[in-house]
Structure 1
């Protein structure tokens, strides 16, 4: 576990220096025996099924973590009834290909290409919002901030833990004060997708709100 309000300073590193502040290898004891999986959700015979990316098997979903995945899937389902989901749980034996005891829902969204995302495994965190559009991708090389009307900005950052799973990332690069505040709170964006964190991007005091999720380099 991280010490509350621990502060790791990387702002003095060169602009593109590595700043791997999140330790994706440190998994909570509560995650023992669980696996993080991405794949497609679908409904059949009154059951919710999960098909992991690149696999043929379809696992019957048991919402043991009370994640409300069934309600979220029902509200987002497209004409074919298929959705992308990023989840954590235990694969157990059962009828057919087995069952997935789902404990945590990272995100559910309409997407036919999310399984092919080449950057997912490298990412520590992704946050984004709309009206106007903005996104922040955080990796071991720093964070890249993309905003409508502005060129992408790659910067190092400082991480500060705030307790209760909240944290912020900040930088003073390029004569701008930039902060990304993140909290573990269910967040629904304007497209209807559900993510497990809320996010605020603050650039020189201007606040833009959105949602976020941990990438493949971190599995809290």
Structure 2
């Protein structure tokens, strides 16, 4: 029996694993500015960020094409607000009603407001894949949570492997079910979400695709 299978067998009863092997380079870019999560608003033809659980408002300058992407997604949803998770540089401003100016340097995700700031795993999750329309996989340090519409959530153990070119593989085999989740650095846009990571899920002989993003527990 290989080391991989022995380790997996040890982790199944614990319902937790995070066995990572980095093969080439660092898959996570260097930090550039602070990370912010909150409501992105379009008011008077300008974008504003209101961070979760705060009373501050930042005027968002155009960066990474965020202005274009936000307006496009807002128009498709018929709304003037979205949830955003990004990293950016802050600068002072004399702009009325603005706490500061925020220049985006990295986008984690842009999506509809459900659940947005009310997400219980907003800070603790490591990775999440949304396989539209009704399947979500959430990765935490305690295990993998599989959620499907009309079915009870399933908690599963998993193995994580870092692959070349910034790709990541999550695999799980428990309760008579085997799945492989592949994450690749590639712009991904769904009906209600935009991220820089694409997800491919192989489960029960089926191949499904969607978008993924880093959770608040992983930079």
Please indicate the TM-score interval, normalised by the length of the shorter structure: 0.7 to 0.9
Counting only pairs closer than 5 Å after superposition, residues 62-141 of structure 1 correspond to structure 2 as 62-64=61-63, 66=64, 68-77=65-74, 81-96=80-95, 97-111=99-113, 113-131=115-133, 133-141=134-142
Q: What is aligned with 1:143?
A: 144
- TM-score w.r.t. the length of structure 1 is 0.81
After TM superposition, the runs of 4+ consecutive aligned structure 1 residues lying more than 6 A away are: none
Counting only pairs closer than 5 Å after superposition, residues 48-59 of structure 1 correspond to structure 2 as 48-59=47-58
Is residue 18–residue 158 contact of structure 2 (8 Å, CA) maintained in 1? no
Q: What is aligned with 2:181?
A: 180
Where 1:196 maps in the other structure, the secondary structure is strand
Distance in structure 2 (CA, Å) of the matches to 1:198 and 1:16: 29
- TM-score w.r.t. the length of structure 2 is 0.82
Q: What is aligned with 1:204?
A: 204
Q: What is aligned with 2:153?
A: 152
Structure 1 unaligned segments of length 5 or more: list them.
1-6
Distance in structure 1 (CA, Å) of the matches to 2:157 and 2:7: 7
Aligned-residue CA RMSD in angstroms?
2.6
Is residue 41–residue 82 contact of structure 2 (8 Å, CA) maintained in 1? yes
How many aligned residue pairs are there? 205
Distance in structure 1 (CA, Å) of the matches to 2:179 and 2:167: 17
Where 2:8 maps in the other structure, the secondary structure is coil
Quick one: structure 1 residues 134 and 113, their matched pair in 2 at CA, closer, same or farther if it must change by over 3 Å? closer
Quick one: structure 1 residues 81 and 150, their matched pair in 2 at CA, closer, same or farther if it must change by over 3 Å? closer
| Offset from partner CA, 1:77-128 (integer Å, 9 cap, x none) | 2555122111111211123321111111111122164112122112111112
